[in-house]
Structure 1
């Protein structure tokens, strides 16, 4: 036992000893004072002694009752504090049990457990930037999960890659995409574009449907050697490719046409380009649409555009070699 803990235990016996001494002093003083008074009044010695003993006993009982009441009040306060602490503990246990039950019933129980386990492995003495970065990523993931659970819209400011690649790799039924050729002109040569295409290739090779509509501003764009190489490469990857000239888009649908990807007819991935030259535009905002009615509207839009689009025409070898 340490000196500090010993020191912490000493005051209680001292206080108890002090209280006993005060009680004895009060008892003796009361009896002595009574004896002096009765003796001064020339009372019989036996009466003086009896009164002294009686008054001293009464003082002792009063003191005892006062101390008992104080101790009783202290015990009641300790009991109330203990009950409050016990209630808090029971509530915490209840919440923990409820949370544990929710985790166990989830399809992602092992992943949630792994996340918690890995987060506890970060040393407490790690640099503050590490803890702040981890907290930011966990908060970001938590917010995304909340938005998905609420079935609304998740927004990422800028060009997202994790959502795009992750959704492509995990698609179970099919992928339908509307590609604005002018905006996506340089996408397919970029690092993220190559990864995106490779992920789609794997989906198509597994027998899942992958369709893409290239929306062209004018028919002459179909002869663009860069664009032609892009859609021919995608056709070789078993991706169903069609071209759609802007003039062939029904007037009632033109305001709805945008860069859009629909995964499994369950959610939609939309991008908003920056304003300016389409060939120089970049992604200003990425949205993950989870509302069932809006996803259905996107699926209907793709279906109508697919009907009025056409398959790319093969390029003659003379023109190809020109």
Structure 2
């Protein structure tokens, strides 16, 4: 059982006073009893005062220790907050510096700055809609576009399947020439809706920008030059596209060897190439602007074009 502090102090004072009274009585038994009682009370009071002083000192030391600990804690918090704020400010200034540098680079590049600004603002508006399918789709599209841009820095980019959007965009950007091959794998393509839009874009490039378009149709054997192919060639010639047909089996051995993948060379600067799989389905699309690859594709097209027939 714990004794209350006040009771304990009282008991100590009484005990000390009693001992003092007994001691003074033993030392001089002839003294006045009142004097002995007074001495005992004074000693007991002094004892009580000393106890309170010791208790006060202990509490004061405890308060000082607590204040020092609190001061250290506040100082640590302020130091940590200052460090976080400085890091945050440095990061923001770094972001601002990077953004300024980026826009300065864009301003001196051949890219349209207004398009990049529209993309950034639109992406910000979409992200403000909060989590959801629209925001997730926007993030995927931005990541896809960023990946294409990063790949183009190496002068090459690819994607699964056939990318008709790339084909249309390149047709709209072309200012000089389009040299294209169309193999037997693509025969069904020309009856599709994307093919109609592609031909319309080529017709506009011919009429508005004077682009010269040549298309070489490739078949396995002469028997592949059927009436449907002849009508297709005539329709495209009527649109201003120069067409020829070549049969692989009739090619000289030195020309027969080489790629027969469908490709389009834009302004002799970039090659759009489609790679088929074993089922003759378009499995992969590649954009390649590397000089050695372009040289090979230009050379291959010229070889095939020179032996092709313009009037079958």
State TM-score, norm by structure 1.
0.71
Question: CA 1:126/1:79 → structure 2, altered by over 3 Å: closer, same or farther?
Answer: closer
Specify the alignment match of 2:174 in structure 1: 171
SS of 1:232's equivalent in the other structure is helix
Residue 260 of structure 1 deviates from its aligned partner by: 0.8
Deviation per residue, 1:104-160 (Å, 9 max, x gap): 42234322322232233338667833333333222222222222223333122x232
Give SS of 1:76's match.
helix
Distance 1:112 1:300 in 2: 37
Number of the residue aligned with 2:258 = 255
1:135 corresponds, among 134, 139, 153, to: 139
Q: Are 1:271 and 2:274 an aligned pair? A: yes
The gaps in structure 1 that reach 5 residues or longer are 1-27, 316-322
Q: Does 1:160 align with 2:159?
A: no
Q: Determine if contact 2:255/2:303 at 8 Å carries over to the other structure.
A: no
The alpha carbon displacement at 1:78 in A equals 0.9
- For the residues of structure 2 that align with 1:74 and 1:266, how far apart are their CA atoms? 66
Deviation digits for residues 285-307 of structure 1 (CA, Å, limit 9, x no counterpart): 32223444323322232233333
Distance 1:70 1:139, change over 3 A: same
CA offsets, 1:178-202, max 9 Å, x none?
221x222222222111111111111
Partner of 1:69: 68
Partner of 2:302: 303
Give the Å deviation of 1:214.
1.9
- Distance in 1, matches of 2:115 and 2:70, equals 53
2:133, 2:81 → 1: CA distance?
Answer: 40
Q: Deviations over 1:79-105 (max 9, x none)?
A: 232133124313431442203431442
CA contact (8 A) 1:148 1:154 kept: no
Task: Give the equivalent residue in structure 2 for 1:210.
Answer: 213
Give the Cα separation in 2 of the matches to 1:73 and 1:126.
Answer: 42
In structure 2, the partner of 1:225 is 227
Per-residue deviation, residues 210-267 of structure 1 (Å, max 9, x unmatched): 2222223233444x22212222222232223233332225436523222111122232
Q: Does 1:96 align with 2:95?
A: yes
Flag the 1:94–1:152 CA change in 2: closer, same or farther, 3 A. farther
**CA distance 1:263–1:95, shift in 2 (3 Å):** farther
Please give the secondary structure, in 2, of the residue aligned with 1:122.
helix
1:120/1:262 CA distance change after superposition, 3 Å = same
CA distance 1:304–1:76, shift in 2 (3 Å): farther
| Larger radius of gyration between Structure 1 and Structure 2 | 2
TM normalised by structure 2 equals 0.73
2:125 match: 121
Q: Does the 8 Å contact 2:129/2:135 carry over to 1?
A: no
Name 1:241's counterpart in structure 2. 243
Report what 1:151 is aligned to: 155
Aligned residues: 276
Native 8 Å contact 2:162 2:284 kept in 1: yes
Conserved 8 A contact 2:13-2:44: no
Compared CA separation, residues 285 and 61, structure 1 to 2 (3 A): same
Q: Which residue of 2 aligns with 1:82?
A: 81
